[in-house]
Amino acid sequence: MTVKMECRTHGTRGDMQPGSGHGTRVSEAKRQVATNVTGMPHEPELHADAPSSVASVDVAPPRAGRLRRNVRRKSQSAAGSRDSRVRRVFLWLYLVTAIIVALGVLLQAFSIAAYIRGAGQDALDMHSTGGFMTHNVEIVVFLAALVGYWGTWTRVGLALLLPVIGTAQILMIGDTDTTGGWINGLHGLFALVVLLLAVVLAQEGMRSLRRDAEENWSPATPPSSAA
């Protein structure tokens, strides 16, 4: 009811003259009517031909792309660091086991010489037990090289020679309960080959660890001197 009365009142006023004042009063009446109907002040409508005051902004995702690249780079760096630590552990195992093989061959030579010169059964048992343990360590050298030098198949193949020659050395002893021959002399000769090969592998392991340490070592930045 209030809407109709106000509209009728504004529509029948005889003192309204066409012009700017009449248009202003009509606009005010429209806003008042809209306020009474909706309870909210009426906002003027924007015409289609009116210039827009808000410029369009292109929201491009370069920041998201950089974030994904940074995350990928960090994950690759973390994976590379983890692989480097694992490789270094197996290189240390490779070095230590190669040294153990070299010492084991020396122990075998010492014990068999002592047995020949009358040291007794204990010296022979030391020779047999030492030979068995040394051969098992030769296999560990190869397995450590397989992980530490994965992809560098020349070094892996060189480490594989150690248990292969060690196995041949054990077979060359023959049956000790019967009289042997010249062929059994290869048992001692192959022991020397195993010794030299173990020394070469140990030296290669030390060089690899040294190179790995130099690549991963970053010198501290010296403090800047005062001007």
Residue 138 in any domain: the answer is yes
Residue 48 in any domain: the answer is no
Residue 72 in any domain: the answer is no
* Cβ-count burial 97-123 (b if 16+ within 10 Å, e if not): bbbbbbebbebbbebbebbeeebeeeb
Q: Are 218 and 182 in contact (CB under 8 A)?
A: no
Owning domain of residue 195: 84-208
Residue 92, pLDDT > 50, answer: yes
Q: Which residue has the higher pLDDT, 227 or 101?
A: 101
Report the distance separating Cα 204 and Cα 14, nearest Å: 112
Range 88-102 average pLDDT = 96
For the chain, the domain total comes to 1
Separation in Å, CA 57 to CA 54, 60, 187: 9, 9, 84
- Of 149-163, 166-180, 207-221, the range with the lowest mean pLDDT is 207-221
Residue 150 in any domain: the answer is yes
- According to DSSP, residue 43 is labeled P
Residue 214 in any domain: the answer is no
Residue 65 in any domain: the answer is no
Residue 200, pLDDT > 60, answer: yes
Residue 98 in any domain: the answer is yes
Residue 116 in any domain: the answer is yes
